[in-house]
Protein backbone atom coordinates (compact mmCIF):
# COMPACT_ATOMS: atom_id res chain seq x y z
CA UNK A 1 0.00 0.00 0.00
CA UNK A 2 1.13 3.55 -0.72
CA UNK A 3 2.32 5.50 2.31
CA UNK A 4 -0.19 8.27 3.12
CA UNK A 5 1.07 11.77 3.72
CA UNK A 6 -0.40 11.83 7.22
CA UNK A 7 -1.82 9.30 9.66
CA UNK A 8 -4.40 10.55 12.14
CA UNK A 9 -4.82 8.80 15.49
CA UNK A 10 -7.69 9.44 17.88
CA UNK A 11 -7.95 7.58 21.19
CA UNK A 12 -11.53 7.57 22.42
CA UNK A 13 -12.99 6.87 25.82
CA UNK A 14 -16.59 7.79 26.61
CA UNK A 15 -16.51 10.59 24.05
CA UNK A 16 -20.07 10.53 22.75
CA UNK A 17 -20.55 14.27 23.29
CA UNK A 18 -17.67 15.26 21.02
CA UNK A 19 -16.56 12.55 18.62
CA UNK A 20 -18.98 13.27 15.77
CA UNK A 21 -17.93 16.92 15.44
CA UNK A 22 -14.28 15.88 15.68
CA UNK A 23 -14.71 13.39 12.82
CA UNK A 24 -16.68 15.79 10.66
CA UNK A 25 -13.96 18.42 11.00
CA UNK A 26 -11.48 15.87 9.60
CA UNK A 27 -13.74 14.89 6.69
CA UNK A 28 -14.33 18.57 5.84
CA UNK A 29 -10.65 19.47 5.58
CA UNK A 30 -9.44 21.36 2.53
CA UNK A 31 -6.83 19.23 0.78
CA UNK A 32 -3.91 20.11 -1.50
CA UNK A 33 -5.06 20.05 -5.12
CA UNK A 34 -3.11 16.90 -6.00
CA UNK A 35 -5.03 14.89 -3.36
CA UNK A 36 -8.58 16.17 -3.87
CA UNK A 37 -9.59 13.14 -5.97
CA UNK A 38 -7.75 10.59 -3.85
CA UNK A 39 -8.08 11.28 -0.14
CA UNK A 40 -6.69 7.84 0.79
CA UNK A 41 -3.24 8.82 -0.51
CA UNK A 42 -3.35 11.91 1.66
CA UNK A 43 -4.51 10.60 5.04
CA UNK A 44 -5.71 7.58 6.90
CA UNK A 45 -7.53 7.64 10.22
CA UNK A 46 -7.11 5.14 13.04
CA UNK A 47 -9.51 5.32 15.97
CA UNK A 48 -8.56 3.31 19.05
CA UNK A 49 -11.33 2.99 21.59
CA UNK A 50 -10.33 2.30 25.20
CA UNK A 51 -13.44 0.30 26.11
CA UNK A 52 -15.99 3.14 26.09
CA UNK A 53 -19.14 2.46 28.08
CA UNK A 54 -21.31 5.07 26.30
CA UNK A 55 -22.41 5.48 22.65
CA UNK A 56 -19.00 6.51 21.31
CA UNK A 57 -18.54 3.42 19.14
CA UNK A 58 -22.01 3.54 17.63
CA UNK A 59 -21.47 7.19 16.66
CA UNK A 60 -18.14 6.28 15.08
CA UNK A 61 -19.76 3.42 13.14
CA UNK A 62 -22.40 5.84 11.83
CA UNK A 63 -19.61 8.04 10.47
CA UNK A 64 -17.33 5.40 8.94
CA UNK A 65 -15.55 6.10 5.66
CA UNK A 66 -13.23 3.86 3.58
CA UNK A 67 -9.97 5.20 5.02
CA UNK A 68 -11.00 4.77 8.68
CA UNK A 69 -9.90 1.84 10.83
CA UNK A 70 -11.41 1.24 14.27
CA UNK A 71 -9.69 -0.83 16.97
CA UNK A 72 -11.57 -1.77 20.12
CA UNK A 73 -9.41 -2.37 23.18
CA UNK A 74 -10.99 -4.69 25.75
CA UNK A 75 -9.94 -2.41 28.59
CA UNK A 76 -8.78 1.14 29.15
CA UNK A 77 -5.03 0.80 28.59
CA UNK A 78 -4.40 4.54 28.95
CA UNK A 79 -3.70 7.22 26.39
CA UNK A 80 0.07 6.74 26.23
CA UNK A 81 -0.08 3.04 25.33
CA UNK A 82 -3.02 3.48 22.95
CA UNK A 83 -1.24 6.27 21.07
CA UNK A 84 1.85 4.08 20.83
CA UNK A 85 -0.30 1.33 19.33
CA UNK A 86 -1.60 3.78 16.77
CA UNK A 87 1.83 5.07 15.78
CA UNK A 88 3.09 1.52 15.22
CA UNK A 89 -0.01 0.51 13.26
CA UNK A 90 0.12 3.46 10.85
CA UNK A 91 2.68 4.52 8.25
CA UNK A 92 2.13 8.18 7.32
CA UNK A 93 5.16 10.46 6.99
CA UNK A 94 3.47 12.67 9.59
CA UNK A 95 1.40 11.61 12.59
CA UNK A 96 -1.47 13.70 13.93
CA UNK A 97 -2.52 12.96 17.51
CA UNK A 98 -5.97 14.26 18.44
CA UNK A 99 -8.06 14.25 21.59
CA UNK A 100 -11.70 13.35 21.04
CA UNK A 101 -13.04 16.60 22.52
CA UNK A 102 -11.97 19.01 19.78
CA UNK A 103 -12.52 19.99 16.18
CA UNK A 104 -10.21 21.35 13.49
CA UNK A 105 -10.37 24.48 11.39
CA UNK A 106 -10.86 23.52 7.73
CA UNK A 107 -7.35 24.71 6.73
CA UNK A 108 -5.55 22.70 9.41
CA UNK A 109 -4.00 20.06 7.11
CA UNK A 110 -2.84 22.52 4.46
CA UNK A 111 -1.22 24.85 7.00
CA UNK A 112 0.60 22.24 9.10
CA UNK A 113 1.85 19.99 6.32
CA UNK A 114 3.18 22.76 4.09
CA UNK A 115 5.09 24.06 7.12
CA UNK A 116 6.54 20.66 8.04
CA UNK A 117 7.56 19.99 4.44
CA UNK A 118 9.52 23.26 4.49
CA UNK A 119 11.31 22.78 7.84
CA UNK A 120 12.80 19.27 8.21
CA UNK A 121 14.28 20.00 11.66
CA UNK A 122 10.81 20.51 13.18
CA UNK A 123 9.66 17.43 15.08
CA UNK A 124 6.26 18.66 16.19
CA UNK A 125 3.81 21.43 15.40
CA UNK A 126 1.59 22.71 18.18
CA UNK A 127 -1.43 24.47 16.63
CA UNK A 128 -3.15 27.50 18.06
CA UNK A 129 -5.74 25.90 20.34
CA UNK A 130 -8.79 27.96 21.24
CA UNK A 131 -11.43 27.03 23.75
CA UNK A 132 -14.49 25.40 22.21
CA UNK A 133 -17.24 27.82 23.25
CA UNK A 134 -20.82 26.75 22.52
CA UNK A 135 -22.59 30.11 22.89
CA UNK A 136 -20.02 32.82 22.32
CA UNK A 137 -18.17 34.41 19.42
CA UNK A 138 -15.23 35.24 21.67
CA UNK A 139 -11.89 33.62 20.99
CA UNK A 140 -10.09 32.52 24.14
CA UNK A 141 -6.74 30.76 23.98
CA UNK A 142 -6.48 27.27 25.39
CA UNK A 143 -2.81 26.76 24.54
CA UNK A 144 -0.06 28.05 22.28
CA UNK A 145 2.31 25.36 23.49
CA UNK A 146 4.01 24.41 26.76
CA UNK A 147 6.57 26.36 28.76
CA UNK A 148 7.92 26.25 32.35
CA UNK A 149 9.22 28.51 35.12
CA UNK A 150 12.20 28.12 37.43
CA UNK A 151 10.30 25.72 39.67
CA UNK A 152 9.76 23.53 36.60
CA UNK A 153 6.04 24.03 36.80
CA UNK A 154 4.76 23.42 33.28
CA UNK A 155 1.89 25.45 31.87
CA UNK A 156 0.00 26.29 28.68
CA UNK A 157 1.22 29.49 27.07
CA UNK A 158 -1.37 32.31 27.04
CA UNK A 159 -4.10 30.06 28.43
CA UNK A 160 -7.24 32.08 29.16
CA UNK A 161 -6.23 35.13 27.09
CA UNK A 162 -9.08 36.71 25.14
CA UNK A 163 -8.17 37.56 21.58
CA UNK A 164 -8.48 41.24 20.72
CA UNK A 165 -8.71 42.74 17.22
CA UNK A 166 -5.08 43.83 17.17
CA UNK A 167 -3.63 40.57 18.53
CA UNK A 168 -1.23 38.84 16.16
CA UNK A 169 0.87 35.79 16.95
CA UNK A 170 3.95 34.84 14.95
CA UNK A 171 5.28 31.39 14.19
CA UNK A 172 7.30 30.73 17.31
CA UNK A 173 9.47 27.94 18.75
CA UNK A 174 8.12 26.62 22.07
CA UNK A 175 9.53 24.24 24.65
CA UNK A 176 6.81 21.67 24.20
CA UNK A 177 3.52 20.68 22.65
CA UNK A 178 0.23 19.88 24.30
CA UNK A 179 -1.08 16.38 23.60
CA UNK A 180 -4.52 17.82 22.90
CA UNK A 181 -3.60 18.18 19.23
CA UNK A 182 -0.11 17.83 17.78
CA UNK A 183 1.34 16.78 14.46
CA UNK A 184 4.67 14.92 14.49
CA UNK A 185 7.34 14.06 12.00
CA UNK A 186 7.40 10.26 12.27
CA UNK A 187 11.19 10.06 12.00
CA UNK A 188 11.52 12.31 15.07
CA UNK A 189 9.31 9.99 17.13
CA UNK A 190 11.47 7.00 16.25
CA UNK A 191 14.58 9.03 17.07
CA UNK A 192 13.52 9.41 20.73
CA UNK A 193 11.69 6.10 21.24
CA UNK A 194 12.70 3.97 24.20
CA UNK A 195 12.07 0.24 23.75
CA UNK A 196 9.50 1.02 21.03
CA UNK A 197 7.67 3.49 23.25
CA UNK A 198 7.18 7.01 21.96
CA UNK A 199 4.93 8.14 24.81
CA UNK A 200 6.11 6.63 28.09
CA UNK A 201 3.49 4.01 28.92
CA UNK A 202 4.25 4.11 32.64
CA UNK A 203 2.53 7.53 32.68
CA UNK A 204 -0.80 5.95 31.58
CA UNK A 205 -2.22 9.45 30.94
CA UNK A 206 -1.35 13.07 31.81
CA UNK A 207 2.02 14.78 31.33
CA UNK A 208 3.20 12.17 28.83
CA UNK A 209 3.26 15.08 26.35
CA UNK A 210 5.67 17.05 28.56
CA UNK A 211 7.96 14.04 28.88
CA UNK A 212 8.04 13.48 25.11
CA UNK A 213 8.57 17.20 24.46
CA UNK A 214 11.54 17.18 26.83
CA UNK A 215 13.07 14.13 25.17
CA UNK A 216 12.70 15.72 21.73
CA UNK A 217 14.37 18.87 23.03
CA UNK A 218 17.31 16.90 24.45
CA UNK A 219 17.79 15.42 20.96
CA UNK A 220 17.82 18.96 19.51
CA UNK A 221 14.56 18.67 17.59
CA UNK A 222 12.47 21.81 17.15
CA UNK A 223 8.88 22.23 18.38
CA UNK A 224 6.91 25.13 16.93
CA UNK A 225 3.59 26.85 17.55
CA UNK A 226 1.90 27.58 14.21
CA UNK A 227 -0.72 30.34 14.63
CA UNK A 228 -2.54 29.74 11.35
CA UNK A 229 -3.23 26.08 12.23
CA UNK A 230 -6.32 26.30 14.44
CA UNK A 231 -8.08 23.84 16.75
CA UNK A 232 -11.01 24.29 19.15
CA UNK A 233 -10.87 22.32 22.41
CA UNK A 234 -13.40 21.63 25.15
CA UNK A 235 -11.34 21.84 28.35
CA UNK A 236 -12.86 21.15 31.78
CA UNK A 237 -10.26 22.77 34.08
CA UNK A 238 -8.56 25.92 32.88
CA UNK A 239 -7.23 29.32 33.69
CA UNK A 240 -9.39 32.26 34.76
CA UNK A 241 -7.72 35.59 35.40
CA UNK A 242 -10.31 36.50 38.04
CA UNK A 243 -8.46 34.10 40.33
CA UNK A 244 -5.02 34.40 41.84
CA UNK A 245 -2.65 31.62 40.82
CA UNK A 246 -2.95 29.58 44.03
CA UNK A 247 -6.75 29.98 44.06
CA UNK A 248 -6.93 28.67 40.51
CA UNK A 249 -4.75 25.66 41.28
CA UNK A 250 -6.91 24.73 44.27
CA UNK A 251 -10.16 25.29 42.33
CA UNK A 252 -9.01 23.11 39.43
CA UNK A 253 -7.66 20.47 41.79
CA UNK A 254 -11.03 19.84 43.42
CA UNK A 255 -12.90 19.77 40.09
CA UNK A 256 -10.83 16.84 38.84
CA UNK A 257 -11.30 13.16 39.79
CA UNK A 258 -8.91 11.88 42.44
CA UNK A 259 -7.28 9.47 39.99
CA UNK A 260 -6.42 12.35 37.64
CA UNK A 261 -4.88 14.33 40.51
CA UNK A 262 -2.83 11.29 41.42
CA UNK A 263 -1.56 10.82 37.85
CA UNK A 264 -0.76 14.51 37.50
CA UNK A 265 1.31 14.58 40.70
CA UNK A 266 3.11 11.27 40.11
CA UNK A 267 3.81 11.92 36.43
CA UNK A 268 5.24 15.37 37.12
CA UNK A 269 7.81 13.71 39.38
CA UNK A 270 8.43 11.04 36.73
CA UNK A 271 9.23 13.87 34.28
CA UNK A 272 11.73 15.46 36.65
CA UNK A 273 13.46 12.20 37.54
CA UNK A 274 13.85 11.25 33.88
CA UNK A 275 14.66 14.57 32.26
CA UNK A 276 15.94 17.18 34.71
CA UNK A 277 19.72 17.51 34.36
CA UNK A 278 21.92 18.06 37.40
CA UNK A 279 23.04 21.56 36.27
CA UNK A 280 19.41 22.66 35.88
CA UNK A 281 18.46 21.10 39.21
CA UNK A 282 21.33 22.74 41.10
CA UNK A 283 20.86 26.23 39.61
CA UNK A 284 17.09 26.13 40.26
CA UNK A 285 17.15 24.09 43.48
CA UNK A 286 15.45 26.71 45.69
CA UNK A 287 12.56 27.21 43.27
CA UNK A 288 12.05 23.50 42.57
CA UNK A 289 12.26 22.41 46.20
CA UNK A 290 9.90 25.16 47.41
CA UNK A 291 7.29 24.31 44.76
CA UNK A 292 7.50 20.57 45.48
CA UNK A 293 7.40 21.18 49.24
CA UNK A 294 4.18 23.24 48.93
CA UNK A 295 2.55 20.53 46.81
CA UNK A 296 3.62 17.82 49.25
CA UNK A 297 2.25 19.68 52.29
CA UNK A 298 -1.03 20.35 50.48
CA UNK A 299 -1.43 16.68 49.55
CA UNK A 300 -0.42 15.33 52.95
CA UNK A 301 -3.15 17.38 54.61
CA UNK A 302 -5.84 17.13 51.91
CA UNK A 303 -5.23 13.81 50.12
CA UNK A 304 -2.51 11.91 52.03
CA UNK A 305 -3.35 8.60 50.34
CA UNK A 306 -2.56 10.11 46.92
CA UNK A 307 0.75 11.50 48.15
CA UNK A 308 1.94 8.20 49.62
CA UNK A 309 0.59 6.16 46.71
CA UNK A 310 2.54 8.32 44.25
CA UNK A 311 5.79 8.02 46.18
CA UNK A 312 5.31 4.28 46.60
CA UNK A 313 5.03 4.01 42.81
CA UNK A 314 8.16 6.12 42.37
CA UNK A 315 10.18 3.92 44.73
CA UNK A 316 8.84 0.77 43.09
CA UNK A 317 9.73 2.01 39.60
CA UNK A 318 12.87 3.95 40.49
CA UNK A 319 15.24 1.47 38.86
CA UNK A 320 13.48 1.60 35.49
CA UNK A 321 13.14 5.39 35.72
CA UNK A 322 16.90 5.65 36.14
CA UNK A 323 17.42 3.35 33.16
CA UNK A 324 15.31 5.68 31.06
CA UNK A 325 17.19 8.68 32.43
CA UNK A 326 20.53 7.11 31.52
CA UNK A 327 19.30 6.46 27.98
CA UNK A 328 18.12 10.07 27.61
CA UNK A 329 21.33 11.66 28.87
CA UNK A 330 23.61 9.24 27.04
CA UNK A 331 21.95 10.20 23.75
CA UNK A 332 21.20 13.90 24.27
CA UNK A 333 22.61 16.38 21.75
CA UNK A 334 22.40 19.71 23.60
CA UNK A 335 23.78 21.10 26.85
CA UNK A 336 21.57 21.96 29.81
CA UNK A 337 21.68 25.69 29.19
CA UNK A 338 20.02 25.05 25.83
CA UNK A 339 16.75 24.50 27.70
CA UNK A 340 16.94 27.87 29.44
CA UNK A 341 15.67 29.48 26.23
CA UNK A 342 12.19 28.28 27.23
CA UNK A 343 12.25 29.50 30.82
CA UNK A 344 9.36 31.88 31.63
How confident is the model over 220-224, as a mean pLDDT? 97
What is the predicted pLDDT for the residue at 70? 96
Is the pLDDT reported for residue 286 higher than 90? yes
What is the predicted pLDDT for the residue at 243? 41
Model confidence pLDDT, tens digit, residues 51-63: 999 999 999 999 9
What is the predicted pLDDT for the residue at 237? 45
Is the pLDDT reported for residue 39 higher than 90? no
- Contact indicator for 2, 65 with CB cutoff of 8 Å: no
- Contact indicator for 146, 177 with CB cutoff of 8 Å: yes
The angle at the Cα of 244, spanning 242 to 245, to the nearest 5 degrees, equals 125
Mean confidence (pLDDT) of the chain: 91
What is the predicted pLDDT for the residue at 41? 77
Is the pLDDT reported for residue 5 higher than 80? yes
Short-list 22, 30, 45, 60, CA closest to 232: 22
What is the predicted pLDDT for the residue at 252? 58
What is the predicted pLDDT for the residue at 166? 79
Is the pLDDT reported for residue 199 higher than 80? yes
Is the pLDDT reported for residue 314 higher than 90? yes
What is the predicted pLDDT for the residue at 293? 97
What is the predicted pLDDT for the residue at 96? 98
Least confident of 33-47, 113-127, 231-245, 288-302: 231-245
Short-list 270, 103, 125, 265, CA closest to 199: 270
How confident is the model over 120-136, as a mean pLDDT? 94
- Contact indicator for 145, 175 with CB cutoff of 8 Å: yes
What are the Cα distances from residue 131, in Å, to 99, 102, 251, 269?
Answer: 13, 9, 19, 28
- Please tell me whether residue 43 adopts helix, strand or coil conformation: strand
Domains of the chain: 6-233 (3.90.550.10), 245-342 (no CATH)
How confident is the model over 82-90, as a mean pLDDT? 97
Residue 140: count other Cβ atoms within 10 Å of its Cβ.
Answer: 17
What is the predicted pLDDT for the residue at 236? 57
What is the predicted pLDDT for the residue at 305? 95
How confident is the model over 218-239, as a mean pLDDT? 87
Least confident of 1-15, 121-135, 246-260: 246-260
What is the predicted pLDDT for the residue at 44? 92
How confident is the model over 100-123, as a mean pLDDT? 96
What is the predicted pLDDT for the residue at 244? 46
In percent, how much of the chain has pLDDT > 90? 81
Question: In the structure, what pLDDT confidence band is assigned to residue 242 with cuts at 50, 70 and 90?
Answer: very low
What distance, in Å, lies between the first and last C-alpha atoms of the chain? 46
Is the pLDDT reported for residue 239 higher than 70? no
DSSP code of 327? H
What is the predicted pLDDT for the residue at 169? 86
How confident is the model over 15-35, as a mean pLDDT? 91
> At a CB cut-off of 8 Å and minimum separation 6, what does 244 contact?
none
How confident is the model over 164-172, as a mean pLDDT? 85
How far apart CA 148 and CA 157 sit, in angstroms, is: 9
The Cβ-side half-sphere exposure at 223, using a 13 Å CA radius, reads 30
Burial of 134 (0-12, 13-18, 19+ CB in 10 A): exposed
What is the predicted pLDDT for the residue at 342? 81
Amino acid sequence: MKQPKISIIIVTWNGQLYIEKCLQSIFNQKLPSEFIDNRKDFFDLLIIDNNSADHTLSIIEDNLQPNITVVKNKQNIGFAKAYNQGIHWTSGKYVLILNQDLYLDSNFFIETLSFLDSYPKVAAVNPTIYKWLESSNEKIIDSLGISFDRSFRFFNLFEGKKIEKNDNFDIKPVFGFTGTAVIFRRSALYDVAWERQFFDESFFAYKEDIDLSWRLRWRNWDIVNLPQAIVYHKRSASQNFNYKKYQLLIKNYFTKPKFINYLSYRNHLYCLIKNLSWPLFITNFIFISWYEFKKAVFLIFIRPHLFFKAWLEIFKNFKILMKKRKYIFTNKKIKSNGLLLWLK
